[in-house]
Each structure stands twice: as C-alpha cells, then as structure tokens.
Amino acid sequence: MAAQGVLWVGLLLLGVSGVPQTQAKDQDTLQPYFQPDKFLGPWYSVGLASNASWFLEKKNVMSMCKTTVAPSADGSLNLTSTFLRKNQCETRAMQLQPTERPGRYNYHSPHWGSIHSVSVVETNYDEYAVLYTQGTQGPHQDFRMASLYSRTKTLKDKLKEDFAAFCKSQGFTEDSIVFLPEPADKCINEPE
C-alpha cells in the first residue's frame, strides 16, 4: 500500500498539461523548441490519466499536489512535490535526466527498477503543460500516464476538455481520466 502511494506521487511529479498537435504514441511528439528555463517554477498537478490498476483503485482519493521544477547543474530537472498523505503534508523529490531530444527526459523508478520516458508534449509555459510518461511496472507490464499541470489551481473548461481529448487519443478510457480536487488542507498553499 505504501509502495503504491510512493509510486503515484512519483508519477504525479511527472505530469503536466496541454493538448498536443499530434499523438504522443508516436514517440516523436514533443513541445517544439522546448525551453526548460521557461518550464521552471511552481506547477499544480490538476489532471491525470493512466492505465495502471493501482491508479484506477486510488483515483477517487487523490488530490492536487504542488510541484516545483528547478534546474540541476548537470542539465536535469529536479521536481519537488508537496501533497497530502494520511492527513499530513509530505514532500517527495525526483530527478528527470535529459535525453538528446529537448523536452524528453528519463526517470529511473526505484520502486520498479525501470526507466520511464517522460515527454513534455505541449506547454505554453505560463498556463499549462501536458506530459506523457511510459515505461514498465514489474515484469512486462506496460505503464502509461498523461499529466496535466497548471500554474494555478483552477483551469479553464477548454483546457480540461482538450486534456480529456488528448487522453482519449492515447487510448485512455473515460474512467481512467481524473481532474484532481484541491485538498482541504494547507499542503499546497504553503509558501515556497
């Protein structure tokens, strides 16, 4: 149970929002001319979709988390997320290693012992970002997740609609898409 919580938090850290011009399935869909310096700063995880069974079981109890993206000296991105877990605020950190393609990163999952590919599919940097993650969980289990990030805790309906359409274009079903509520605590409202 705790391992699943750590996993979804790590994967939640990978998410961001937007609507790609083409499908992420083709592995070539990335934000054109991705600028990591504009991607830095605070984001809220506001939407998720996944094919993982643990996600479908937990999606109704998940809430929004705040993630801060900061640069690392080696060119990687450090993501630090604060979220509510068991009525307490927790913080987790992870590092996305850059690949040869701007906007594509690798994340080593300590839980699964596998590498996940994380792509920034689309972002306007000031309002939303969409991330697409794929890899494996356990022996030969395909894992996919789409994440919608927002600079604010509220989203325009059009962004929600576009994110849902993107998720469906990636093969996610309606019941695997969730928009996360703001937690009833101060975890994501605390100053940086």
pLDDT of residue 16: 34
Give the residue with greater pLDDT, 9 vs 62. Answer: 62
Q: 10 Å Cβ neighbour count for 181?
A: 11
Q: Residue 71 forms beta bridges with which residues?
A: 77
CATH superfamily for 2-179 is: Calycin beta-barrel core domain (2.40.128.20)
pLDDT of residue 22: 35
Q: How far is CA 10 from the centre of its chain?
A: 8
pLDDT of residue 112: 67
Biggest CA pair distance of the chain: 41
pLDDT band at 19 (very low <50, low <70, confident <90, very high): very low
- Strand segments, DSSP code E, in the chain are 41-50, 65-71, 77-85, 88-98, 104-109, 114-123, 128-137, 141-150, 177-179
Decide if pLDDT at 192 tops 50. Answer: no
Q: Which residues are catalytic?
A: 65
Give the residue with greater pLDDT, 80 vs 186. Answer: 80
The whole model's pTM is what?
A: 0.82
pLDDT digits (tens, 9 = 90+) for 131-167: 999 987 666 678 899 999 999 999 899 999 999 999 9
Cα separation, 162 vs 47, in Å, equals 11
Alpha helices in 15-156 (DSSP H): 36-39, 53-58
| Contact by Cβ (8 Å): 84, 187 | yes
SS3 content of the chain, % helix, strand, coil (to 5): 25, 40, 35
pLDDT band at 2 (very low <50, low <70, confident <90, very high): very low
pLDDT of residue 71: 96
Decide if pLDDT at 12 tops 70. Answer: no
Mean of the per-residue pLDDT values of the chain: 82
pLDDT digits (tens, 9 = 90+) for 56-65: 888 888 889 9
Could you give the dihedral angle defined by the CA atoms of residues 12, 42, 66 and 187, in that order, rounded to the nearest 10 degrees? 160
Provide the b/e sequence for 29-61 (b: ≥16 CB within 10 Å). bbbeebebeebeeebbbbbbbbbbebbeebbee
| Contact by Cβ (8 Å): 146, 118 | no
For residue 138, CA distances in Å to 19, 54, 70, 71, 134 come to 30, 13, 30, 30, 13
